A and B are shown apart, each in its own frame.
Chain A
Amino acid sequence: SAVISQKPSRDICQRGTSLTIQCQVDSQVTMMFWYRQQPGQSLTLIATANQGSEATYESGFVIDKFPISRPNLTFSTLTVSNMSPEDSSIYLCSVSGSGELFFGEGSRLTVL
């Protein structure tokens, strides 16, 4: 199993600002995943973060809006840029192990 810590757990942000979410894992992992969970909608993969290379983004998500850093094998950040109310959501960091996904507790963002 993996223990994943995310910061911040929640935040209220103003339209047009940017916020960076941090994800720390208690073991070294090759890939880290960032998901978005909007009310009433499916948990949706934003991107896969690989250490030492550019993140791979899913359809509908772009690097300019969601820049990701992966400086080492236990840490990653996701930035939500130029936020609008539509970005209000829970953002979850995840890692894979033995066919199972492990998740952090999520970062709940509210954009006013």
Chain B
Amino acid sequence: QKEVEQDPGPLSVPEGAIVSLNCTYSNSAFQYFMWYRQYSRKGPELLMYTYSSGNKEDGRFTAQVDKSSKYISLFIRDSQPSDSATYLCAMSDGGGFKTIFGAGTRLFVKA
């Protein structure tokens, strides 16, 4: 069993749709949960960062962590074509030195 499971997609949605991206994990020691966004031919960039369980909102983006279910989500409201990218979930038990990544979900937002 992989430590982090993420559906690779691709996921195609129309502009303005609400997007839900998800990951499950197996290691209960994970405390830090992140979403990275990776545009084509670019390196990943941190999008959202959450510590432990709960929700965090930043503009059109909301990250949710449910540690009891070992399940994390990223919601994108009013999706835009510029949101088209690969979204990687990531998690660590602290310090950022040993971060485990999901395989990434490719998202296409059609104008």
Residues on A facing B (Cβ under 8 Å): 4, 31, 40-45, 48, 92, 94, 96, 99-101, 103-106, 108
Contact = CB atoms under 8 A, between A and B. Distances in A.
Contact of B2 (A42, A100, A105, A108): A42
A48 to B, nearest CB: 7
Dominant secondary structure at the A interface:
strand
B43 A99 contact: no
Contacts of A41: 103
Contacts, number: 53
A103 B43 contact: yes
Interface residues of B, number: 26
Nearest to A93: B43
A108 B44 CA distance: 14
Contacts of B104: 42-43
Interface of B: 2, 4, 6, 8, 32, 34, 36, 41-46, 49, 88, 90, 95-104
A94 B101 CA distance: 14
**Most A-side CB within 10 Å, residue of B8, B42, B46, B98:** B46
Nearest to B5: A42
Given A103-B44, A106-B41, 14 more contacts: A4-B43, A40-B8, A42-B4, A42-B104, A92-B43, A94-B43, A96-B95, A96-B97, A101-B46, A101-B90, A101-B96, A101-B99, A103-B43, A103-B45
Contacts of A42: 2, 4, 6, 100-104
A43 B96 contact: no
A26 to B, nearest CB: 14
**Most B-side CB within 10 Å, residue of A31, A42, A104:** A42
A60 to B, nearest CB: 14
A59 B102 CA distance: 18
Contacts of B34: 100
Contacts of A31: 97
Contact of B101 (A43, A104, A106): A43
A40 B103 CA distance: 6
